[in-house]
Amino acid sequence: MKRAKKGDIYAESLELHRKHRGKIEVYSKVPVTNRHELSLAYTPGVAEVCREIHKNKDLAYKYTLKANTIAIVTDGSRVLSLGNIGGYAAIPVMEGKALLFKKLAGIDAFPLCFERYHMEFADDIRNIAPVFGGIALEDIAAPRCFELEESLQNIGIPVMHDDQHGTAVVVLAALLNACRVTKKRFEDLNIVVCGAGAAGFAITRMLKCIGYNPDLCSSVNDIIVCDRSGIIHRHRDGLYANKYKFIIAEETNKTGRTGTLADAMKGADVCTGVSVPGIITPSMVRSMNKDPIIFAMAHPMPEILPADAREAGAAIVGTGRNDFPNQINYALAFPGIFRGALDARATRISDEMKVAAAHAIADFVRQPRKDRILPAVLNRNVVTAVAAAVRNAAVASGCARTID
């Protein structure tokens, strides 16, 4: 095989994965070099550990890897911009996620990739819960991702779909700091969300405070959500077939606007894109209110390039990429959220924990600027700050537990 030329990121990545045969491995924490060490780590000594856990299953947090281990679970049905590529092809992405968990938060994470036709998905996840301290659901297409996450909230450990809530947390943090820079009032914002999948739904719920305790969060003035068919509104045909889009229709677009994405963006203050590359044009940006805020997070190319958005009048532009300013990436959220949840031995991830994470990320940037509304993704101090806020919120919201 020819050596990959530097600068061709795809060829370089292929070579990296070929060379190392993946990116993570399992290693032993304890020595096993003689019979006594083997007796302690395995039989007969391990029997006493099993007896203690049998008497109190919470002691698995004290005596096993459970306290610091999560499963990264996918069916490969919505992987990045690659779509429905299945469990095998999803492995490299899940390995990468595991790598980030370890490097940023010190969490041991392992990919569990099911095939996309798997039917007993929720039951299988319930049955692997004993060994893990949390479950990160990844790259699962809507609406299955919503139904799956909802069905797993009572299994005794945190279960979170990162594409939804990790993205929503970081968008809220970015928007809080964008308001500080532009002097816009959060409560006055009219927002367009381009994309009604997992991330779009969660962003809409968080920014509109839908389903949250009203004392916990503030709502923007209004949100208009667009999907492939245009603006979601109460009278659109076929809406009742998808209860999540029905919720969006009931809770947003209070003026009843109809039409296309271009129609939605007229007079908006913010456009948040979680859809497809190139869908936003400069003329759409020019139709927005003065000093608009553009978060274009499609991969691998954003809905509009930052230079084009700024030339059209955007005051602040963020994307999902690390080669442009203002990277809006859920990697700012999920390591700290799960670190805090594991430290609290949390039974679930509450709304209070998500909101606390968003404010911790925003507050980490003490003096936000147009080109720096969020901290760097690889800054481990962000993880520490988010974890502390999430751990405290877990205690306050009754999700934490104490194990002697």
Residue type, position 17, single letter: H
3-state secondary structure 16-57: HHHHHCCCCCCCCCCCCCCHHHHHHHCCCCHHHHHHHHHHCH
Neighbours of 6 (CB within 10 A): 8
Which of 6, 19, 29, 42 does the annotation list as catalytic? 42
CA distance 250 to 248: 5
E strands present in 240-309:
270-273, 293-296
Kindly provide the residue ranges of all beta strands, DSSP E only, lying in 265-306, ordered along the sequence. Answer: 270-273, 293-296
Question: What φ, ψ does residue 109 adopt, rounded to 5°?
Answer: -130, 145
Nearest to 387 by CA among 63, 73, 107, 165: 107
Query: Is-catalytic flag, 97?
Result: yes
Structure tokens at 198: 């997992």
Place of tokens 């999430």: 390
DSSP state letter for 320: S
CB atoms within 10 A of CB 118: 12
Q: Show the CA angle centred on residue 220, arms to residues 218 and 225, nearest 5°.
A: 130
Edge-to-edge strand list for the sheet holding 190-194:
230-231, 222-227, 190-194, 270-273, 293-296, 316-319
> Distance (Å, rounded) from C-alpha 295 to C-alpha 330?
13
With tokens 């943090």, the residue in question is: 173
Strands 190-194 and 222-227: parallel
Whether 208 sits among the annotated catalytic residues: the reply is no
From 66, 97, 208, 354, active-site residue: 97
Could you give the residue numbers annotated as active site? 42, 97
